[in-house]
Amino acid sequence: KKGGAIREPLQGAETKLGEKFFGGISETVETMLEVLTSTRAERGELLLHGSDLLKATPLELAASKERPNLSALVKLMENAIEDPSLNPHFEVEGRTYLHLMAECGSVRLCKRLIQLGCKVRQVDDMGFAPVHVAAAGGHPMCLKLLLDEDESMINLSDGETNSTPLHYAALYGRARCVSLLLDRGARLDQLDSFGATAPMKAAYHGHKSVLRIVGKSAKLHLKDKENNNAFLLSCLQGHFACSTTLKKYLPRSEVSSSHQNKRGDTPIWGTFLHNNFDYLKVLLEDENPGGKKVFFEDTVKKMIGSHTMGPFHFQLLHRCLLHLNDKQQCYKMVRYLLSSGADPNARTTDRKTPLFVASFQNRVSCIPLLLNHGADVAAVDEDGNTALHFTRHVDIAAKILATLDDSDSRRHYCNVQNNQGNGALHVAFSRSDYDMATFLLTHGANPNLQNANGNRPEECIWSRDVVFDIPYLTKVEGGGIFMSPVNFCQNFA
């Protein structure tokens, strides 16, 4: 973002700078050249234009970069701060010298700029004040200086996300700034434009030190617009050390393993998402009335059979097949769930089994696991589709058909029509899927089968209509013109 958008603070931004650093600008020609070179930029990188660019001093040129070199700025500002020609009110897109020195963490320069007339409440074009920048950068002494000038900025919201200085300090894990802000009266329950509190920001980004500071507050239970609380966010991001910290301060009802946000994410799903069975064990043992005396395996089996998520009533098998990007992790989790008693024929609200999801998501390695544990290939969803309608990989189709006894059974299965009269071949043609169409025709799919509109599979080739429009699956559209002979199906008739 241009102008005053808060940037990720520099690594080591709180390191104390020695006298040599501040005084070195006039020590040697080489040092001066180094500083001046660092202020140069391509014209497109500068926020000054026209005559302003021609008249700009080296300090103003350095300050006008979209991403200024902060160390060079400090050196230049040290050299110019007592120069009578310095314009302390210089700004680019609302960003002042005070914004930049607050980002650098230079208390002395910030104090001098305030004495020269820089306004501590001035916001840049993105709505950020110096107090937001100091909090994000982790500069408590700068933050104290600014608040001493105007205490009313303690809960000042920015113009971008309605975040306060406390939100930014928590977001970047600035524990000392968090302590300072709380001591000065910052509100822990103030919400940003997403409905998130500062503790939620800390939990999401894994800042345990911040959570320890805010832990005794009664505001940790608050939820954002998506029904996330700090505990759920820490689990979903894999910050289980933060989850453990939060459990010490939150009531049992707020750290339930089955608490769901609007999408259906739960702490239990977080443990599967991040492959952390140790924390899954902690969650389940804490909620087990019998404590650790009950076998963990029995508790897991009970949980797997009853844990449904979201408006579509996904079970853990559905979610793993849908959302685990790593193929090896997905295979491992599916194998674990099936061996622990997960139902391979569990249904969503629209009657889809895990086999449907695995077929659509091209989970080739997971298909044999599901089939070996009794997945029903003949199952149909509420629209009359079989798993074959959703299959986009020939290897998966081959594994599914291999479970059928004979060629007649396979031929019948290939010609099952859904509620719109479409068979798997109609779907393959509408996707312009040459390999799948060839496979289905080879195994007995009828090229003359008509759907409810009277169209044969080959006639669906010209369609760009939506084939599947299911909220939790990637939208599949028709492929348009299929570059193949018009009489393609005649070779299989």
pLDDT, mean of residues 228-249: 95
Q: Is the pLDDT of residue 48 over 80?
A: no
Q: Is the pLDDT of residue 402 over 60?
A: yes
pTM of the model as a whole? 0.80
Confidence of residue 314 (pLDDT cuts 50, 70, 90): very high
**Which of these, 380, 456, 446, lies nearest to 418 by C-alpha position?**
380
Looking at every residue in the chain, the average pLDDT score rounds to 84
Q: 468 or 398: whose pLDDT is higher?
A: 398
pLDDT, mean of residues 47-56: 57
Domains of the chain: 1-187 (1.25.40.20), 191-292 (1.25.40.20)
Q: Is the pLDDT of residue 379 over 60?
A: yes
Q: Is the pLDDT of residue 422 over 70?
A: yes
pLDDT of residue 45: 57
Model pLDDT for residues 164-173, shown as the tens digit of each residue: 999 999 999 9
pLDDT of residue 38: 43
Model pLDDT for residues 473-486, shown as the tens digit of each residue: 666 555 443 333 33
Model pLDDT for residues 282-300, shown as the tens digit of each residue: 888 777 655 555 566 777 7
pLDDT of residue 65: 84
pLDDT of residue 300: 78
pLDDT of residue 1: 41
pLDDT of residue 213: 94
Q: Is the pLDDT of residue 492 over 50?
A: no
Q: List residues bridging with 309 in a β-sheet.
A: 314
Q: What are the φ/ψ torsions at residue 314 (nearest 5 degrees)?
A: -65, 145
pLDDT, mean of residues 52-69: 79
Confidence of residue 469 (pLDDT cuts 50, 70, 90): low
pLDDT of residue 115: 96
pLDDT of residue 109: 96
pLDDT of residue 286: 76
Model pLDDT for residues 442-463, shown as the tens digit of each residue: 999 999 999 998 989 988 876 6
pLDDT of residue 47: 57
> Which amino acid makes up residue 164?
T
